[in-house]
Every structure is written in structure tokens, then in C-alpha cells.
A and B are shown apart, each in its own frame.
Chain A
């Protein structure tokens, strides 16, 4: 069964360092998302991406964050200068054509720990 894959599964970094989280969405999907979940809190939307551009982003997704689809298969989330409060589980998700139709499939997540 096709699935969304994410790497790394866990990354530990020092405050101020740049991190890149990688995702390979399901191959025929056209809509891509990043969500995050701080431990014990609800899953929060970060950004949606379609047709090589950001469709929508939340207040959390400030200038320190960026997304890219560099090669037609990978979908990356970059945090330029990490802060302690960026520690969270980051989920990539994808869905088939149609922003509001169809299911949203999540990857297993990348746990980011900022020290």
C-alpha cells in the first residue's frame, strides 16, 4: 500500500542550527502539507503546498520556515535557525487531486528535539 515516508525519524539539534526534514509523498498526490504536534498538544497546521507554491500557511510558519519540492518527489521543510519551542513531531501529509476531497495521508513523523 502506498505511504508517505519521512526522514529522519528523530533529529536532535542545537538551538540556532538549521534543520531539513524530508518527506516523500504518495506518488500520484498533488497536495502536500506539513503539520506539527508539540508533546501533549493538538496537531497544528503549518503549511499547504500545491503546484509548486504555498497555498496556505499558518501564523506558526514564519520567516524561519520554508518548504520546497526540489525534484518532483521529495517535499522538504527547512527551519533556518531552530528555537527550543520548535521541538515537536513534524508530520508530512499528502492528498490526491482536489484540496478538499479525498483522504489526507500522514507520514510516520519526524521528531525534532532542539537543545
Chain B
């Protein structure tokens, strides 16, 4: 059975800290791994990763994929209170559907 596992499930940090969120997967016919940020409602897209070892970066956020070890990490540097959200990792299979992890709830305290 396909599965995506995220860790930690929740995390509390202070502004300015750096955090690393983990995502491991076992999915047949892997095509890509996507990270989303979910604040109140819809998941909003952050990154899509398809190749191992190539870092994707957007401002203070970055992510990398290891297709040999079947995991990805999402880094957030210099965290701000606005980064507080649930971060979702999802793996896309050949048919196009996303298999989601349970999410990591990040809380950034001032």
C-alpha cells in the first residue's frame, strides 16, 4: 500500500529559528513529490520535486529530494509567525493522484 509519512507531527519554535520537516514515502510508480502549506483551508503549493539532489528554493524555504532513500526535507530558515501552518507532503503517482502525509503542524512563537 502506498504511504507517505511525515515527521515530526507537530513542532513549536521561536521566531528566527530554523526548522527541518521530514517526509518519507513508499509509493509505486513515483512521479513527483510536492510540498504544500495549509493554513486555514486550501493547501497552497510550495514546491514540486522530481529529481534527486536538486534543491528547490523560494525565499527562506528550500527543499530537496532523495529518490534512493525515498525521502524529502523542507527547510525554513529565520522562521516568522506567518510560517505557522500545517505543512503537507504529497507524492504523485503515474496516474496523477496525490498521496498525502498526515502533515506537520508548525507553530512559530514570537
Contact = CB atoms under 8 A, between A and B. Distances in A.
Interface of A: 31, 33, 35, 41-45, 48, 50, 55-56, 58, 89, 91, 95, 99-109
Contacts of A107: 42
A56 B43 contact: no
A54 B14 CA distance: 46
Nearest to A55: B95
Contact of B93 (A42, A100, A102): A100
B84 to A, nearest CB: 17
B45 A100 contact: no
B97 A45 contact: yes
A100 B94 contact: yes
Contacts of A43: 43, 88, 90, 98, 100
Contact of A100 (B90, B92, B101, B103): B92
Size bracket, chain B contacts? 20 to 34
Nearest to B93: A100
23 contacts: A33-B96, A35-B98, A42-B102, A42-B103, A45-B99, A48-B95, A50-B96, A99-B31, A99-B94, A99-B95, A99-B96, A100-B31, A100-B32, A100-B92, A100-B93, A100-B94, A100-B95, A100-B96, A101-B32, A104-B45, A106-B42, A106-B43, A109-B42
A60 to B, nearest CB: 12
Given A42-B103, A43-B88, A105 B98 contact: no
Contacts of A42: 100-103
A74 to B, nearest CB: 18
